[in-house]
Chains A and B, each alone.
Chain A
Amino acid sequence: MEKILEVKDLNISFHTYAGEVKAVRGVSFDLHRGESLAIVGESGCGKTVTAKSIMRLLKEPPAEIKPGSQIIFDGKEDIVKMNRKRLKSFRGADVSMIFQDPMTSLNPTMTVGKQIMETLQIHKGMNKIEAKKEAIELLKIVNIPNPEVRINNYPHQLSGGMRQRVMIAMAISCNPKILIADEPTTALDVTIQAQIMDLLNELKDKFNTAIILITHDLGVVANFADKVQVMYAGEIIERGTREEIFYKSMHPYTWALLNSVPRLDTESKQELYSLGGTPPDLILPLKGCAFSSRCEYAMEICLERKPETTQLSPTHSLCCWLQHPDAPKVNRSEVVRGEING
């Protein structure tokens, strides 16, 4: 499969009054055509910043993409080096994005039709009539009933799920090669969540669009992603195929994430698992493993030196001192409760 996106040693800092916050620290990954990649992690781990940087949507300043960072699109162009004019034609056409909260991410004073048409008019040079026809088609594709009527609705006249469908219609309008979905289901209730994820899956196959799914919920990932990357404190700490992450993951943080997914088989009185502590302050220089302060298995070396990357299979790798031959062996099956049914 062809690489559509190569992120190489991405470093992003925010310059604040308190100091430089190193939000993304040396992230590298590849995305292939038509592939779905999930980036998982808790709030503030840098997953949204990574996603926004792919569209160069970060406000620079205060954000700064550090020199040396590369985001190669389609094997030829470096997104980090794009000028304003190219960015304008790039956003929405080559890469598009769906945001977390459909309640606030549509313009309240514009009909949804106009908002979809706008993208078509900018990138495909359509006139109003063509764009309107196409917008109705797009609303059909995302399963909105009565598209001819809905096109004249304002966002407040639609439900949350419908609004997210409109966002998706907008995002796929120009057949982008990459679709970034930043927590697309967080603001929706669970049944709608499943519908939206199914829709994204369907569109991925139909248009061969690569999808980057940003989420903090491994439950959402279970049915969806080909590959999963777990981020913590601005770094990717474990990556692998979906099966590898769900059934063979070896990083204690990934285990913690897996354990915090609510299951149907837990007893009703049982407390849900939650990981104690907070992520490290990214203003201070990090010594050792970023997760060491919250890790049950932390050893002396974890506090002193950063772990190396260990390759467990061609697709599965992680950064953890437990992988060192001299480290004590932890039995995964004793730590991770049950399995998540995908």
Chain B
Amino acid sequence: MGRYIVKRIIYMLLTLFIITTITFFLMHSIPGDPLAHMAKNLPEQVKANYYKKYGLDQPVIVQYGKFLKNVFTEGNLGESLRYPGRSVTETVLNNSKVSGRVGVQAISLGIVIGITLGIIAALFRNKWPDYLVMFIAILGVTVPSFIIASLLQYTFTVKFQLLPTTGWGDMKHTILPTIALAFSPIATYARYMRSNVLEVINQDYILTAQAKGVGTFSLITKHILRNAILPVITILGPQIAGIFTGSFVIERIFGIPGLGSYYITSINDRDYTMIIGTTVFYAAIFVVAQLVTDILYGIVDPRIRVSNDNE
């Protein structure tokens, strides 16, 4: 197991390196540059000095070499080009904490409710609870989160005035964004879980368990759940990555100082260092999440367990 993880980490670092490289060259191929908006009215000499200061006058390949040297010798991603003095690493880490809080809450809510609804739907297949759950699931997948967010805001802040509309600070600020963000995961998990449970219910070992006299509750918790949850773990990986990077739309609507907006603004601004920072962060979380998912597989299903002690 230890060897497996070390191997995986080496691959992960390699993946990150490749992603970074591709991103670097891609972003330099977009027309325009981070200084264009301010430099266009400046005298030629001043402009040239600016470009020289940030090293933007050199060929891309040289800039790439410098960038790598910076990362490996100083271990940081530099300053934002658009907002001088703001460290990219710090911005990403601080803002991701905010996004992460809402994200963790939303995913947890999504898993618990989604899986429960999915099981209920499967057990009451083609009866009203099933239809109700599938109706909710279709709403969750098809209705965009900003509409759900607006509806929540209208209901709980305008109509009943129970929660704040926007802002950040207390637990109460996180409730509405959490629900709005959880809607889509609830729908996804419910659908996956429903079809998995239906498949597992028809397996021979469920019949064996029934023939042993196992009651309905233990049948679900001990025999069905663990076998049905595996495909859900598969889709969990990419969703974990989304937790810390936040959602552009939801964070805008609720005025949350998360990381989500940086993904869009940094590209619009051609803020090269910030683009690299946010991309590498997302990629890193993603590959770590994949590793966690793979380890979780082994815990849930002994058949996929990676081990040297097999025999």
A93 to B211, CA, bound (A): 9
A118 to B213, CA, bound (A): 9
A97 to B212, CA, bound (A): 8
- The answer to whether A99 and B204 touch across the interface, beta carbons within 8 angstroms, is yes
- The answer to whether A91 and B226 touch across the interface, beta carbons within 8 angstroms, is no
B212 partner, pick from A96, A108, A156, A157, beta carbons under 8 A: A96
10 smallest CB-CB distances across A and B, nearest first, come from A92-B213, A92-B212, A91-B213, A105-B204, A104-B204, A154-B302, A107-B205, A97-B211, A109-B226, A119-B212
Shortest B234–chain A CB gap in Å is: 16
- The answer to whether B204 and A118 touch across the interface, beta carbons within 8 angstroms, is no
Interface size class of B (residues with CB under 8 A): 20 to 34
In chain A, residues 148-164, which have Cβ atoms closer than 8 Å to a Cβ of chain B? Answer: 154, 156-157
- The answer to whether B212 and A170 touch across the interface, beta carbons within 8 angstroms, is yes
Jot down 12 A-B pairs with beta carbons below 8 A, ordered by A: A91-B213, A96-B211, A96-B212, A97-B208, A97-B211, A99-B211, A107-B205, A107-B223, A108-B303, A109-B302, A118-B214, A154-B303
| B229: nearest chain-A partner, CB-CB | A109
In chain B, residues 214-247, which have Cβ atoms closer than 8 Å to a Cβ of chain A? Answer: 214-215, 218, 222-223, 226-227
A90 to B212, CA, bound (A): 9
Residues in A with CB closer than 8 Å to B303 are 108, 154, 156
- The answer to whether B214 and A105 touch across the interface, beta carbons within 8 angstroms, is no
Residues in B with CB closer than 8 Å to A90 are 213
Residues in B with CB closer than 8 Å to A233 are none
In chain A, residues 88-115, which have Cβ atoms closer than 8 Å to a Cβ of chain B? Answer: 88-93, 96-97, 99, 101, 104-110
A212 within 8 A of B: no
- The answer to whether A109 and B212 touch across the interface, beta carbons within 8 angstroms, is no
* Residues of B in contact with A (beta carbons under 8 Å apart): 203-205, 207-215, 218, 222-223, 226-227, 300-303, 310
Shortest A63–chain B CB gap in Å is: 13
- Chain A interface residue count, Cβ-Cβ cutoff 8 angstroms: 29
Residues in A with CB closer than 8 Å to B208 are 97, 99, 105-107, 167, 170
| B208: nearest chain-A partner, CB-CB | A105
Interface centre among A99, A106, A109, A170 (most CB of B within 10 A): A109
Shortest A158–chain B CB gap in Å is: 12
Residues in A with CB closer than 8 Å to B205 are 104-108
A122 within 8 A of B: yes
Q: Mark A108-134, 1 if CB is under 8 A from B, else 0.
A: 111000000011001100000000000
A93 to B204, CA, bound (A): 19
- The answer to whether A107 and B207 touch across the interface, beta carbons within 8 angstroms, is no
Residues in B with CB closer than 8 Å to A110 are 222-223, 226
B207 partner, pick from A105, A118, A154, beta carbons under 8 A: A105
A154 to B203, CA, bound (A): 17
Shortest A85–chain B CB gap in Å is: 9
- The answer to whether A108 and B214 touch across the interface, beta carbons within 8 angstroms, is no
Residues in B with CB closer than 8 Å to A57 are 207, 210-211
- The answer to whether A122 and B211 touch across the interface, beta carbons within 8 angstroms, is no
- The answer to whether A88 and B226 touch across the interface, beta carbons within 8 angstroms, is no
| A123: nearest chain-B partner, CB-CB | B213
- The answer to whether A108 and B302 touch across the interface, beta carbons within 8 angstroms, is yes
Shortest A4–chain B CB gap in Å is: 18
